[in-house]
Each structure stands twice: as structure tokens, then as C-alpha cells.
A and B are shown apart, each in its own frame.
Chain A
Amino acid sequence: MTGAPHRHFHDELSQLKDRLLHMSGEVEAAVDRAVRALLEHDADAAEQIIAHDSAIDELEIEIENGVTNLLALQQPMARDLRLLLAALKISNDLERMGDHAVNIAQSAKRLRDAPPITPAPELSDMARSVKAMLSGVLSAFVKGDSAAARAICRQDDHVDALHRSMFRILLTHMAEVPSTITAAMELLLVSRNLERVADLATNIGEDVVFMVEGTTIKHHAETGGVAGGR
């Protein structure tokens, strides 16, 4: 059972993990740079992020093809099967995060000539939290650490709270100074995009728990929300 074909398979699984890690690095950088472009009114940087998204899309396709081949040729079981299923979903979630980075970059372009942004600290805090969730969850994936993945999932509540806080701040601005409505609406979109990235990082955390433990925790399956879990 420890012959060459299986060693080859396990090497390929390691390579797949490396590609996912590379993809998550790209996505993390895209989200980070998009928020920076917004805060610094840097339309050129925003343009670069938009242009670079195709590279993230290509990584998703590359990982999808790799998973399909391994499923077809190796017919993996147990932990290996769960890893491949998780990889497929994670690459899809990362690609969606890349799209949210593009949305933020587009907002940055539209906000280039807008006055300085009032809730910058909240926005920076959100971006920092989302970035930490993303790098933490991919680290949990690579290490197969389900406890860390569960902890990341819980951080989503913090980002949700920041998003609600942004909403209240921007609403107040719009009510007080109607001329800020366009910019405030744009910022609301940015906040919404960051909140979605955190949701997707949470999805990845749930996939990591499934991969490591074979247990379903999404849709509150652990607390009896839906039939699931072992």
C-alpha cells in the first residue's frame, strides 16, 4: 500500500495545497491593495487590481482541473477525498473573494475625486480583520487545524458588527450632508464587499473542519440548525 503510485498521489496532493496557498496569497494581496487604493485615492493601483483578477480566475481553473484529475485517476477515500472536495470549494470561494476585491477597486476608481473618507478607521479595521481571517483560515487548511478554523469562523461576528457600524456612520453622514450621498453609498458597497469576503473566509473555515474531522458545521449543523454533522 505504500508503493510508488500512492507516493506520487500524495506528492500531487501537496502540490495542490501549495497552489491553493499561492492563490490565497494573491487574493489576500488583492483585497489589501484594493482597500489601500481606496484610502489613498490611487486609481492606478485600483486599475492594476482589476487587471490582475484574471490571474486569480486562472488559478481557480487550474486547481479545479487538478482536483478533477485526481478524483478521476486516484479515486481517493477518507481524508484524501475530503481534502479534494474542500480544495474545490475553497478555490471557488477564493475566486469570489478576488471578485469582491475587484468591486472594491472599482469603487476606489469612482471615489478618486471624492472628499476624504470619514469612517476610515472602521474601514481599515475591517480590512485588517478580513485579511487576518483569510490568512488564518488558509494556515488552518494547510496545517489541518480544525480548532483554528473554528476560531476563524467565530471572528465573522466581529466583521459583521463593523459592517453594521459603518452602515450607521454613513447613514448619519447622508442625512446630515446630502452632498456626500454618492460617496457614502459607494463606501457602503465597499463595506458590504469586505463583509462578504469575511463570509467566504468563514465558508473556508467550515470546509477545513469538514476536511479534518469529517463533520459538517455549516448552517449551524452543530447546534441542530440543519441535519448534518456526524
Chain B
Amino acid sequence: MSSVMRPEPAREGGDLDPAAEIEPLIDIRDFSFWYGENQALRGISMRIAPRKITAFIGPSGCGKSTLLRSIDRMNELIPKTRRAGDILIEGRSVYDAGTDVVALRQRVGMVFQQPNPFPKSVFDNVAFGPKRNGLCAPRELPDRVEWALKRAALWDEVSDRLDEPGTSLSGGQQQRLCIARTLANDPEVLLLDEPCSALDPIATQKIEELLVQLKHEYTIVIVTHNLHEAARIADYTAFFYLGELVEYERSEDLFTRPQQERTEAYVTGRFG
């Protein structure tokens, strides 16, 4: 492992590196981001381990969703934004001039807070990406759809409803459909922006169990307002405040014995 990829982990916040023992898949280097004049991220440096779940937590406006969306360059869709620093995936900058953004977003899938299936059938929702990206021959599409739906733990519930609209499913099923739609593109990274906040506890539990299964094959980054969700499923948790990375630790450490006062205050509800 090169020294660039594995610096001495700093213990004073800002550049903590609990994943130092693992070769990072995503390497965020001194990354800042502005919406107009408003600086949303301030020099974030962190490494995200492959095939683990990493959670971003922090109060609204702390920059956690901005950072998540910077990984697959979704923020570029917003006018008057700019950035500094870099984000590398497997050592290659996602901001390189030569980066194909469509290919990047196929490799880095995103699931949002509100389930957003296309106004199409369950089958077509999942088949859309592979068909569009030419990932498999048309005759192989049914197998791919079944594979993705099974992987998203939805197949047993929808195998006899593949022609029905995706929007006819329950909220939790719709969210798993969106995960299946992402998985069908064969991504390496799954980014999830509060995927369970619109779901009831049972649907939430299913998504959480699914993510814990999926982490064996995918690198998962999840933004959540639910601290207990992060504690339940994330291997590593990063706490952000006012655009800064305050603390980044193994979840078991961050939630039982955080090092920073601000983290302690946030996770014990004494914030503000």
C-alpha cells in the first residue's frame, strides 16, 4: 500500500481514517464545494473502504448529502456550483476531464430519499439501465431483471406482477425496486441518500437487512438522519458539522465513545 493511500491517521478530527488498514475504494482529498457564495464543504479528506457500509451523519445543512452527490458528480447538475480538491475511485479522479459521467453513474449507483420508480412496469424499471447501457443482449434481459430483483430481495414479492406499474408497489417495495434498478447496471458503489426516511419500520428493516447482505459485494455509502440506523448497519460512521468532517470512526467506537465533544453532543442529543 503506498504512503499516499495510507497516511498516519490523525486523531484530532478532520482527517480521521478508521479504514486505514484497508485499501480505500473511494479517496476524498481536501474536497470543498460551494453553492454560489455558500461554502457547503470545507476541505474534506477521508477514505472509504470497499465492501463496507459507511454512514454520513450530521444535522441538516452539514454537507453530508453534498459530499455523497459529489462522489457521482450529481451536484454538477445544479447551476452556480464549484468545487476544489478531488475524489478518486480506485485511484482515478472522477473529475478528470476524460471521465465519462454516464459510465461513472453506471459504476456508482444512487438511491434517493423518496422512492422514484419510472412510470413504467416493474420489469421495465429494472431492464431500463441494462438496455440503455447495452450491458446485455435483449434475450438475456429477463434473466438480468430476475437476478437484480432477487438481489434486491424483491423477486418473491413481485415475480407475478412484473407487468404492473412500479408505482403500484408499496413504499418499501418501490425503494427496493429502485435498488434493483441500480444493481441491474452492475455498479461497484451504492450511494443512498436517506433511503429509509420515508418508510415504516418493517420496510426500513428489510432495506437495512438488504444493505447488510449487499455490502459483501458492493461499497455502500449511506446518508442518514437516523443515528440508530447508522449504528445498526454501518461499519464506519462519519460525523459532519457545518461542512467539516468532525469525526470518522468505526461505528462501534463513534456511538459508544466518541473522541470529539461535538460528536458526543450530537449523538446524545445535547446539540445546539
Which A residues contact B (CB, under 8 angstroms)? Answer: 1-2, 6, 9-10, 75-82, 213-215, 230
Interface flag for B20 (CB, 8 Å): no
Kindly provide the distance from the CB of A77 to the nearest chain B CB, expressed in whole angstroms: 4
CB within 8 Å for A9 and B269 given contacts A77-B231, A78-B264: yes
Tell me if A79 and B269 are in contact (CB < 8 A): no
User: Which of B59, B228, B257 has a CB less than 8 Å from the CB of A78?
Assistant: B257
Tell me if B271 and A78 are in contact (CB < 8 A): no
Kindly provide the distance from the CB of A209 to the nearest chain B CB, expressed in whole angstroms: 12
User: Which of B267, B271, B272 has a CB less than 8 Å from the CB of A77?
Assistant: B267
| Apart from A10-B269, A79-B268, A213-B257, 6 more pairs, CB < 8 Å | A1-B266, A1-B270, A6-B270, A77-B256, A78-B267, A214-B257
Closest to A214 in B: B257
User: Which of B257, B258, B271 has a CB less than 8 Å from the CB of A2?
Assistant: B271
Contacts of B263 in A (CB 8 A): 78
Interface flag for B227 (CB, 8 Å): yes
Kindly provide the distance from the CB of A215 to the nearest chain B CB, expressed in whole angstroms: 8
Tell me if B268 and A78 are in contact (CB < 8 A): yes
Contacts of B255 in A (CB 8 A): 77-78, 81
- For the side of the interface on B, what is the size category? 10 to 19
Tell me the bound Cα distance from A167 to B227 in angstroms. Answer: 55
Contacts of A10 in B (CB 8 A): 269-270
CB within 8 Å for A77 and B227 given contacts A1-B59, A82-B257, A230-B257: yes
List 22 interface pairs A-B (beta carbons < 8 Å), by A numbering: A1-B269, A2-B269, A2-B271, A2-B272, A6-B269, A9-B269, A10-B269, A75-B228, A76-B268, A77-B227, A77-B255, A77-B267, A77-B268, A78-B255, A78-B258, A78-B268, A79-B264, A81-B256, A82-B257, A215-B257, A230-B253, A230-B257
Kindly provide the distance from the CB of B126 to the nearest chain A CB, expressed in whole angstroms: 36
Tell me the bound Cα distance from A75 to B59 in angstroms. Answer: 19
Q: Contact flags (1/0) for B229-270 with A, using CB distance below 8 Å? A: 001000000000000000000000101111000011011111
Interface centre among B258, B264, B269 (most CB of A within 10 A): B269
Tell me if A78 and B256 are in contact (CB < 8 A): yes
Closest to B231 in A: A77
Contacts of B257 in A (CB 8 A): 78, 82, 213-215, 230
Contacts of B227 in A (CB 8 A): 77
Contacts of B256 in A (CB 8 A): 77-78, 81-82, 214
Contacts of A214 in B (CB 8 A): 256-257
User: Which of B228, B258, B272 has a CB less than 8 Å from the CB of A1?
Assistant: B272
Kindly provide the distance from the CB of A143 to the nearest chain B CB, expressed in whole angstroms: 17
Closest to B272 in A: A2
Tell me if A2 and B268 are in contact (CB < 8 A): no
Tell me the bound Cα distance from A158 to B227 in angstroms. Answer: 45
Contacts of B253 in A (CB 8 A): 230
Tell me the bound Cα distance from A10 to B271 in angstroms. Answer: 13
Tell me the bound Cα distance from A81 to B228 in angstroms. Answer: 13
Tell me the bound Cα distance from A69 to B270 in angstroms. Answer: 20
Closest to B253 in A: A230
Tell me the bound Cα distance from A106 to B74 in angstroms. Answer: 76
Contacts of B267 in A (CB 8 A): 77-78
Tell me the bound Cα distance from A79 to B270 in angstroms. Answer: 11
Tell me the bound Cα distance from A81 to B267 in angstroms. Answer: 10
CB within 8 Å for A2 and B231 given contacts A77-B256, A78-B255, A214-B256: no
- Closest 5 A/B residue pairs (Cβ): A214-B257, A6-B269, A1-B271, A77-B267, A2-B272
Contacts of A75 in B (CB 8 A): 228
Tell me the bound Cα distance from A42 to B271 in angstroms. Answer: 55
Contacts of A79 in B (CB 8 A): 264, 268
Tell me the bound Cα distance from A100 to B197 in angstroms. Answer: 52
Contacts of A215 in B (CB 8 A): 257
Tell me the bound Cα distance from A82 to B252 in angstroms. Answer: 13
Kindly provide the distance from the CB of B259 to the nearest chain A CB, expressed in whole angstroms: 9
Closest to A80 in B: B268
Q: Contact flags (1/0) for B87-102 with A, using CB distance below 8 Å? A: 0000000000000000
Closest to A81 in B: B256
Contacts of A76 in B (CB 8 A): 268
Tell me the bound Cα distance from A2 to B255 in angstroms. Answer: 18
Tell me the bound Cα distance from A206 to B48 in angstroms. Answer: 35
Closest to B258 in A: A78
Q: Among residues 174 to 231 in chain B, which have CB atoms less than 8 Å away from a CB atom of chain A?
A: 227-228, 231
Tell me the bound Cα distance from A79 to B227 in angstroms. Answer: 15
Tell me the bound Cα distance from A230 to B263 in angstroms. Answer: 17
